[in-house]
Amino acid sequence: MNPIAHSPHAHAPSSIGKVMLTVMLALTPATLFGFWLYGWPAIHLWAVAIIAAILGEAFVIRLQQRAVRPVIMDGSGILTAWLLALSLPPYAPWWIAVLGSLFAVIVGKQIFGGLGQNVFNPAMAARVMLLISFPLEMTTWGAPLPLTSPNGLNLIEGLRVTFFSQPIDGMASASLLGHVKTEFTRGIGLEQALTGFFTPMDALWGMRAGSLGETAALMLLLGGLVLIARRIITWHAPFAMLLGVAVPALIFSLIDGNHYAGPLVHLLSGGVMLGAFFIITDPVTSPNTAKGQFIFGLGCGLLTWVIRTWGGYPEGVAFAVLLMNAATPLIDQYVKPRIYGRDRKGAALPAKKGA
Amino acid sequence: MTTRREAACCGEGSPLGYAVTTLFDRFFSGMRGGVHPEGRKDLSAARGIRALPLPQKLYVPLQQHIGAPATPVVNVGERVLKGQLIAAAQGNVSAPVHAPTSGIIVALGDHVAPHPSGLPVPTFTLACDGLEEWVPLQACDDPFALEAEDIAARVAAAGIVGLGGATFPSALKLNLSRGVQTLIINGGECEPYLTCDDRIMRERATAIVEGISLIAQAVSAKEVIVGIEDNKPEAIEAMRGAARAASMKVVAMPSMYPMGSEKQIIQVLTGQEIPAGGRPADIGVLVHNVATAFAVHQAIRFGRPLISRIVTVSGGAIKSPCNVEALVGTPVQQLIDFAGGFSQAAARMVLGGPMMGQHITNTAVPVVKGSSGILALTSDEIGQNEASPCIRCSTCVRACPVGLLPLEMAAHIRGSDLSGAVDLGLKDCIACGSCSYVCPAHIPLVHYFNYAKGDLAAQERGKLKQEATKKLADARSERIARIERERAEMMAKRKAAREAKERAAKEAAAKAAAETA
């Protein structure tokens, strides 16, 4: 180290590891809820994803002849795998999680140059890869089988589901958005399709078929608020994303309620809550400034709604995030803070003698 | 913008009003960004100012200010009296230096500088005789009868420089700011640990207020605002009490670093910003530090030059942190000894505050006019780790009080793209250290910026030198060409003259031949 130290000689007690740990803690309520709701298969899938990410990242770092320990210990790879796991169908087979995790940390992150260098959110890149490559496995949802329910699976049965793709008897179900899309293709209107399928209170708690950790809207909101309170993230991007989804949903549902789902359906389904508070707030792939983050979040929300409403896929969060990731450098280029003593264009403010 | 200022003072007296305005201030402080480093002022805030015992030797550098070093006016071996001029200001931007006590000048030579480099600088060594015999002083019984120019001249003669740390010659600032609208007196002291301004305000408020009035008179300021961070309620109280009769406002500002920075305190108290590349006078503002105001009072009222200052000795490795009044030139080691020495090995010694102070490696360095603090910090207090990769979390962007993008600037500098960093506003950086302080990756951002600023300055100096060389070379070739030309002209002239002479001789000969024929 340099024998002459440069100021400042005081530093805030923070580190990358602590930041990642806080995010993981904020994810814990929603994750535990997912574990309870979907039972042992969900736990296995989550664990497999994280182990695969650690091993995959360690392997690549070893290839680069760098020290493995600090890279693993910063927690960013684990967090990526965690987020990916939360976005997977809970009864998906193990290799989905392994492929996704490896893709996320190796192709999504390390190939770009490691932590801080990637352009696209690794978890979302992996999810999109899986969705395009393995559409069947990625859209097979099972109705919740809570750990505590009488027909819940035990540890061994859970292992069979995850590792031997043992089907769960008669439990095939559809996610809310998938269901709506299917019903539309059958010419059934929204009001009828939603009857008995969408109850706001259940959606709020997350008692429905869906991804491992995306359904528990309230838990995710709680975690997000913790992150805002801990100043890990700011409200701008999440709020803007929720706005970007809710506003067009409201307008269009008012125009034609039988074809366009209302804001509550959109906000409480799919990956919007997880995306708004945990995905688009990924610092690496989002803009630098508060205003930039607001624009970014708004874009993510709008694109999500557009893809859900008019696109081929029932869910659009992952695609929307990747598209806006690509726009991040552009946003950063044009949205910069005004510098003290200068106007927005960078010219010095006028002097006013004796004013 | 007056509303903002009123909002800050309307709550005077009632505790509820105070709480409300403080809350209000937190949201509308006017300053962008900023950080809340751990204050650690409690270590020394309760310790009253004590005079340091007279050291045996003082080491007084010729340069303790921004500008040209002073020129010695006494010889080695000479006896000097306390307060006697020993080195005179040189040029427009400079300040004189006075003997801090009576004694013999035993040397004028190199001594280690109070600077991270620890390089030797020209320094007087004064062997103190312990008599403290003052030079005759030019006191002034009615300072408020003095003309503005006279006040500035006395401030200049007293060798007063900005005691907040910038050490810009104060008289020059007075002369450049005549007729400003607002005089701001900076009692912010936003640097953690430092309590020297806090103590001087608590203990010498009356003198400070008179000093402020004198400064206001010297620049005929129309309003005077004293800004003090609200973490110093006793100082605010003392200053409000002393200022009751004077026409000045004492405003409690939210405690947030870097509130005491000139640009930020102006922004908070007046709502205005100094234009980029400009000075406070451009918007009709002058800022002086409270300790400077005290020094002005001493200089005008009693004729005493600036030969001592209040220094905070603190840090986790100091046994009993305190505030001392030390003579300029006192070796730092003496102050540490006075504070009981080290309680444990210091990981780092710092001159000034922890946010912008300078790391020193030698405790033989002297206290100079700009030394506000001597800190012996433990590694826990420093809290610095190895840098890890930037995750673009933009915490630095939120912390920057200037509105810069520290992460982007650092990335450009890492890539040796200095002009890219300049385009992002490198030259607007005030090096306050807020970005480095908050960076979770512990990237030494300010180090990058200062490195880049230094490199740019060197490049600019190089360019100037190149231009000067080119000018000289051009002048030389022009001179040679001119000499050649002149010689050729001379030759031509001579040749013409010779030919004319020859022709005349020939004609004369022909004429003579014709005549003889």
Q: Calculate mean pLDDT across residues A254-259.
A: 88
Query: Which tokens go with A298?
Result: 């708004």
Tell whether B392 lies on the interface with A, counting CB pairs under 8 A. Answer: yes
Query: In chain B, which residues have pLDDT < 50?
Result: 1-27
Name residue B359's beta-bridge partners. B350
CA distances from B354 to B37, B314, B369, B374, B495 (A): 10, 11, 18, 10, 80
Question: What DSSP letter does each residue of B128-186 carry, written as one string?
Answer: E-S--PBPPP---S-GGGS-HHHHHHHHHHTT-B-TTTT--BHHHHHHHTTT-SEEEEE
Question: Does residue B101 form part of some domain?
Answer: no
**Residue with tokens 């029932």, as numbered in its chain:** A314
With 0.80 as the threshold, say if the pTM is over it.
yes
pLDDT at A171: 57
pLDDT at A5: 87
- Those of residues 224-283 in A touching chain B at CB distance below 8 A are 234, 283
Mutate to test the interface with A, among B40, B392, B451 (most CBs of A within 10 A): B392
Mutate to test the interface with B, among A1, A4, A7 (most CBs of B within 10 A): A7
pLDDT at B513: 84
Question: Does residue A343 form part of some domain?
Answer: no
What is the CATH number for B498?
Answer: 1.10.1060
CA A253 to mean position of chain CA atoms: 26
Instruction: Give the whole-number percent of chain A exceeding pLDDT 90.
Output: 65
Q: CA A140, CA A173: separation in Å to the nearest integer?
A: 8
Residue contact B450–A6, C-beta within 8 A: yes
Question: Does residue B16 form part of some domain?
Answer: no
Gyration radius (Cα) of chain B, Å = 30
Please determine, for residue A301, whether its predicted confidence score (pLDDT) is greater than 70: yes
Residue contact A116–B391, C-beta within 8 A: yes
Reduced DSSP (H G I as helix, E B as strand, rest coil) percent helix, strand, coil of chain A, to 5: 60, 0, 40
- Those of residues 54-93 in A touching chain B at CB distance below 8 A are 70, 74, 76
* Angle made by CA atoms A114, A120, A124, in degrees to the nearest 5: 110
- Give per-residue pLDDT as tens, A125-152: 999 999 999 998 898 887 888 888 777 7
ipTM of the complex: 0.89
Q: Calculate mean pLDDT across residues A277-281.
A: 96
Residue contact A9–B377, C-beta within 8 A: yes
- Those of residues 24-63 in B touching chain A at CB distance below 8 A are 32, 35, 37-38
Q: Which amino acid is at A4?
A: I
Question: Does residue B353 form part of some domain?
Answer: no
pLDDT at A340: 94
Q: CA B278, CA B284: separation in Å to the nearest integer?
A: 11
Average pLDDT taken over every residue of chain A: 89
What is the CATH number for A53?
Answer: 1.10.3430
Q: Where are the alpha helices (DSSP H) in B339-444?
A: 379-382, 395-399, 406-414, 418-423, 434-438
Q: CA B87, CA A239: separation in Å to the nearest integer?
A: 64
Question: Does residue A184 form part of some domain?
Answer: yes
Q: CA B292, CA A95: separation in Å to the nearest integer?
A: 72
B322 DSSP assignment: E
Query: Which tokens go with B314?
Result: 């603190």
- Give per-residue pLDDT as tens, A97-130: 999 999 999 999 999 999 999 999 999 999 999 9
Closest residue, chain B, to A288 (C-alpha): B394
Closest residue, chain A, to B118 (C-alpha): A4
Q: How many domains does chain B have?
A: 1
pLDDT at B29: 55
Of the partner residues A9, A337, A354, the one whose CB lies closest to the CB of residue B348: A9
Instruction: Give the whole-number percent of chain A exceeding pLDDT 70.
Output: 97
Question: Does residue A74 form part of some domain?
Answer: yes
Residue A345 buriedness (CB in 10 A; 0-12 / 13-18 / 19+): exposed
Name residue B313's beta-bridge partners. B322, B374
Query: Which tokens go with B27?
Result: 């949201």
Residue A235 buriedness (CB in 10 A; 0-12 / 13-18 / 19+): middle
Question: Does residue B244 form part of some domain?
Answer: no
* Angle made by CA atoms A342, A343, A344, in degrees to the nearest 5: 125
Please determine, for residue A18, whether its predicted confidence score (pLDDT) is greater than 50: yes
pLDDT at A172: 62
Q: Is B296 helix (H, G, I), strand (E, B) or coil?
A: helix
Q: CA B258, CA B31: separation in Å to the nearest integer?
A: 9
> Residue B490 belongs to what domain range?
389-517
Question: What DSSP letter does each residue of B209-233 carry, written as one string?
Answer: HHHHHHHHHHHT-SEEEEEEETT-H
> Residue A57 belongs to what domain range?
16-334
Q: How many domains does chain A have?
A: 1
Q: Residue B477: how many CB atoms within 10 A of its CB?
A: 10
Mutate to test the interface with B, among A19, A61, A340, A349 (most CBs of B within 10 A): A340
Residue contact A70–B361, C-beta within 8 A: no
pLDDT at B242: 95
Directed axis angle between helix B233-242 and helix B196-203, to 10°?
A: 40
Q: Which long-range contacts (CB under 8 A, 24 or more apart) does A249-256 make?
A: A249/A305, A252/A309
- Give per-residue pLDDT as tens, B343-361: 999 999 999 999 999 999 9
Q: Which amino acid is at A114?
A: G
pLDDT at B165: 81
- Cβ atoms of residues A107 and A79 within 8 Å: no
Question: Does residue A5 form part of some domain?
Answer: no
Question: Does residue A131 form part of some domain?
Answer: yes
